[in-house]
Amino acid sequence: MERLYPTLFRRPAYPVSPKSREALDIHIKELLDLGVIRKVGHNEEVEITTPVIVAWHNEKFRMVRDFRSLNTYTVPDRYPIPKIQIFLTQISQAVYISTMDALKGFHQNVVTPRARKYLIIIVDCGVYEYLRIPFGVKNAHSHLQRMMNEIFPEELSEGWLII
């Protein structure tokens, strides 16, 4: 992605409560340990988004990022995603149903070095870049579906549903 847009998403770190700070630190450490992000020095040429910690109904915390500005300038990847109505029709006729859940599926795809500068997050303890695709980036779902289709071609030819 060339720089065809104004600098819309360079923001300072949001202030967080002590409880959110603890959850954010845990999440950042987990992403570092998994090799999903790495700490980088601040660079004026990078685009920065600020993560926010939200509490779910089960009282667990989740880190979310607002990539809407970036997504506005991202060329859509039109790779086909299965339609839910077709999926529901096919699954209703299934004899066997089994599920597998890829751990942090979006994080299984590597971010190219050229794209990393657009996937920078800032928190009060540092600046980090994504090495793996984060959830919320416009084409993440297309990349994940393409990867699943490439991994399971035989299963798809046998009528498996992989989403």
Q: How confident is the model at residue 36 (pLDDT cuts 50, 70, 90)?
A: very high
Per-residue model confidence as pLDDT tens digits over 80-120: 888 888 878 878 887 888 777 776 777 888 999 988 888 88
- Give the amino acid at 83: K
pLDDT at 2: 47
Residue 114: inside a domain = yes
Query: For residues 156 and 149, is the Cβ–Cβ distance under 8 A?
Result: yes
Beta bridge partners of 37: 130
pLDDT at 33: 95
Residue 5: inside a domain = no
Percentage of residues of the chain with pLDDT beyond 70: 82
pLDDT at 39: 93
Residue 126: inside a domain = yes
Residue 75: inside a domain = yes
Q: Is 70 helix (H, G, I), strand (E, B) or coil?
A: helix
Per-residue model confidence as pLDDT tens digits over 3-25: 444 455 566 677 778 888 888 88
Residue 11: inside a domain = no
Residue 88: inside a domain = yes
Query: Residue 93 belongs to a domain with what CATH number?
Result: 3.10.10.10
Range of the domain at 138: 18-157
pLDDT at 77: 92
Say how far apart CA 30 and CA 103 lie, in whole Å: 13
pLDDT at 62: 77
Beta bridge partners of 130: 37
Residue 51: inside a domain = yes
Counted domains in the chain: 1
Say how far apart CA 153 and CA 4 lie, in whole Å: 37
Residue 106: inside a domain = yes
Query: For residues 139 and 70, is the Cβ–Cβ distance under 8 A?
Result: no
Say how far apart CA 36 and CA 31 lie, in whole Å: 5
Q: How confident is the model at residue 29 (pLDDT cuts 50, 70, 90)?
A: very high
Whether the per-residue pLDDT at 1 is higher than 70: the answer is no
From the CB of residue 24, how many other CB atoms can be counted at a distance below 10 Å?
22
